[in-house]
Chain A
């Protein structure tokens, strides 16, 4: 596998164990710049130093971000550079930290999705799904089939929207500004459908413990068919605009190469792991929802470079649409949320005639429903990789502890290794191809 992954360096004498070791070296040769905040500030201010013959003196510390056009929000990179070459780097995070995991301990299980949906704001439904699945595991309730299929439909559309956003930002980071607008245009079509279903374009709070917030609106099949007819030809246009473009290929191929061993050592998941040729997709390998009943391919790359990550995401949009097409035909009838009266509030009409219903309604929305004591972990395949929710309940109406395993956060630690030895322009391409969402990194 390694000789495939290190293509371009065909006879590179790097075995898997060596490449994993390279990740963990700690000395001067490490890709990670180990520099305290104070040291970085002192070095960054020191631009007046006269250059001398010693190569160490010709190095420059460059602060990229947290406010920079291509650091995807508020990521900050401290780069040690020699000319345009990036020698070592250190991603600095925390600029978007709002304590969401701590906030979760003060919100009831029903309010929880409102909170987690703001983490990965490009793919909000996946955080909601992971949270809801964890709560449902603790409650030990079954979700009605229609709710499961609605969740799958919405998540696959969200995956497409998220990857479309990646196409947009990736194009922009490489200077193809038209691509940015085109990617947004198509994403907007998907978001329009979301607005119709959930009432919001982003941060939907749609998937909740026990099911989904509302049934699909009448005529949803027509909207889906419209999307299915609209988006695939546009994807072919992207292929024409970018995939075969010589400048585009030269900018991405062989840039930010990761071997499967390195990818595993850094616990990457999602398109970054798959780009190395390691086929790992939770939808197939640990099926949740009803993914074992639909047909789809897991897209893998061979070289582990930025171009593979681009191509994987582009083709995953096609796969997602393929799943959506099957869901439209297979969508069962029935309830869109569980009929467990302790979890689901009673319908409005029942409150007028039943005292019991009124009390349930009041209790669910003030105190919240109680969840049995225990701990659990639920993971879903988000567009960025394994998105997990670890939850501990002490039997009360609020989580004792809630932790999200954000794939963006874990994937971010590949940055120094991918950027090592490249130019600044490669660094931008690498950050773009890792596609971190800072809301999910900082939580």
Chain B
């Protein structure tokens, strides 16, 4: 095995020795299992969301296909598959066909770096399959979290190109919103994740999970704020309510996928819900210790990490649905304000604070002085930012009044 391969596929003990057919088989099995788990969980997630939101709305929700309507997603998928596939005359046909895949494939790939089980507290997070020790994740690249950020950037292209290539106005507005929103919130997302790098000292998802064993979760180690920023920015990145401006149906009909129909629409739909699951899984991995949790029955020890992981993800999924049922949609300019004027400065400030504390600990400075000085600096920074924002607003308002006055004067003459 060459050095390059090791660098890309990382340090899974499975791949550290020589490759043989059995190991290739195990990797292939892991890929298939991850693929199937993701697809099935997306199907269940769509059902879960519809059923739960129906409960919150005082409705019944899907109830006909299968027990409790659990096969509704399958039925919808089959229906969409046989629907007529329309491509608008004005569209850019190649890009129009490409866009759904740019959305879907990154959604699939992100799940590859998520450790969905393995005992990290007493072992090293490996499981033994067919006599081979291996991680319970498809790949553990040393650049793990960067891989996640890179793929979520590619997913922006899917949404943006879909809107642009439709040759229609509502999708165009939707895609402009999408690119602005997703790029802005990626900055906040990245800064929140950077604090995890500081505390865990690694980019690899396996190492990040290994650093949070026995309740020493990053959500506390980084001081909760980055976690909240991550969840908010993640919701915006997913275009979930209250940040679902990209497909705001009351304003833009269907947003970027207005012109899509049939299976192409289904792919966007699938990608959207898949992203919800992978984003929750990433949040659990980075901040909530991944599969970390007590092992209650020793005899089936391997079940517990996966169970804890699933429960944590489920809590996130529930929260996403809950938000959708409760909150009205935020407005475009307010969204940008929240992203640039609140989340990014907050995440950046917190990151600097944590970095300073780390340096202070290494150098043996008095923690009290470090904290005091850092807070003073951050407060000064916040005051300057607030002042700048207020000044800009005042000038903008003054300008508006001026033009209004000119306008009124012109009318009077």
Instruction: Give the interface size class of chain A.
Output: 35 or more
Query: B20 within 8 Å of A by Cβ?
Result: no
Nearest chain-B residue to A30 (Cβ)? B411
* Contact between A173 and B250, CB atoms less than 8 A apart: yes
* Contact between B405 and A181, CB atoms less than 8 A apart: no
How many Å lie between the Cα of A12 and that of B411 in the bound state? Answer: 17
* Contact between A174 and B329, CB atoms less than 8 A apart: yes
Nearest chain-A residue to B57 (Cβ)? A181
How many Å lie between the Cα of A37 and that of B87 in the bound state? Answer: 28
Chain A positions 140 through 178: 1 when the CB is less than 8 Å from some CB of chain B, otherwise 0: 000000000000000000000000000000011111111
CB contact between A247 and one of B167, B177, B253, B327 (< 8 Å): that residue: B327
Chain A residue contacts of B328, Cβ below 8 A? 171, 174-176, 242, 245, 247-248, 251
Chain A residue contacts of B326, Cβ below 8 A? 176, 178, 241
Segment touching A, from B4-12, B28-36, B192-200, B240-248: B240-248
CB contact between A178 and one of B57, B169, B173, B252 (< 8 Å): that residue: B57
Q: How many Å from the CB of B103 to the closest CB on chain A?
A: 22
How many Å lie between the Cα of A241 and that of B167 in the bound state? Answer: 39
How many Å lie between the Cα of A29 and that of B413 in the bound state? Answer: 14
Query: B331 within 8 Å of A by Cβ?
Result: yes
* Contact between B411 and A22, CB atoms less than 8 A apart: yes
Interface size on B (CB < 8 Å)?
Answer: 41
Query: B122 within 8 Å of A by Cβ?
Result: no
Chain B residue contacts of A60, Cβ below 8 A? 169
Query: B25 within 8 Å of A by Cβ?
Result: no
Segment touching B, from A199-207, A404-412, A423-431: A423-431
CB contact between A70 and one of B173, B250, B407 (< 8 Å): that residue: B250
Chain B residue contacts of A176, Cβ below 8 A? 326-329
CB contact between B250 and one of A181, A250, A428 (< 8 Å): that residue: A428
Nearest chain-B residue to A174 (Cβ)? B328
Query: A350 within 8 Å of B by Cβ?
Result: no
Query: B265 within 8 Å of A by Cβ?
Result: no
Q: Known contacts A13-B405, A69-B250, A250-B334: does B56 contact A424 (CB below 8 Å)? A: no
How many Å lie between the Cα of A69 and that of B176 in the bound state? Answer: 20
Chain A residue contacts of B68, Cβ below 8 A? none
Q: Known contacts A178-B56, A247-B328, A248-B328: does B408 contact A14 (CB below 8 Å)? A: yes
CB contact between B58 and one of A185, A248, A427 (< 8 Å): that residue: A185
Could you say which of B177, B326, B333 has the most chain A C-beta atoms within 10 Å of its C-beta? B326
Scan residues 312-336 of chain B and give those whose CB is less than 8 A from a CB of chain A: 324-334
Query: B129 within 8 Å of A by Cβ?
Result: no
Scan residues 387-443 of chain A and give those whose CB is less than 8 A from a CB of chain B: 423-428
* Contact between A423 and B332, CB atoms less than 8 A apart: yes
How many Å lie between the Cα of A242 and that of B326 in the bound state? Answer: 9
Chain B residue contacts of A251, Cβ below 8 A? 328-331, 334
Query: B214 within 8 Å of A by Cβ?
Result: no
Q: Known contacts A178-B56, A428-B251: does B331 contact A250 (CB below 8 Å)? A: yes
How many Å lie between the Cα of A91 and that of B89 in the bound state? Answer: 28
How many Å lie between the Cα of A130 and that of B72 in the bound state? Answer: 49
Nearest chain-B residue to A432 (Cβ)? B250
Query: B379 within 8 Å of A by Cβ?
Result: no
Chain B residue contacts of A427, Cβ below 8 A? 251
How many Å lie between the Cα of A96 and that of B248 in the bound state? Answer: 26
Nearest chain-A residue to B405 (Cβ)? A13
How many Å lie between the Cα of A185 and that of B59 in the bound state? Answer: 10
Query: A68 within 8 Å of B by Cβ?
Result: yes
Query: A356 within 8 Å of B by Cβ?
Result: no
* Contact between B408 and A175, CB atoms less than 8 A apart: no
Chain A positions 2 through 22: 1 when the CB is less than 8 Å from some CB of chain B, otherwise 0: 000000010011100010011
6 of the cross-chain contacts (CB-CB < 8 Å) are A62-B169, A83-B176, A176-B326, A245-B327, A247-B327, A428-B251
Q: A177-B325, A247-B329 are in contact. List 13 more A-B contacts (CB 8 A).
A: A12-B404, A14-B408, A21-B412, A25-B411, A62-B169, A69-B249, A178-B56, A185-B58, A245-B327, A251-B329, A251-B330, A424-B173, A424-B251
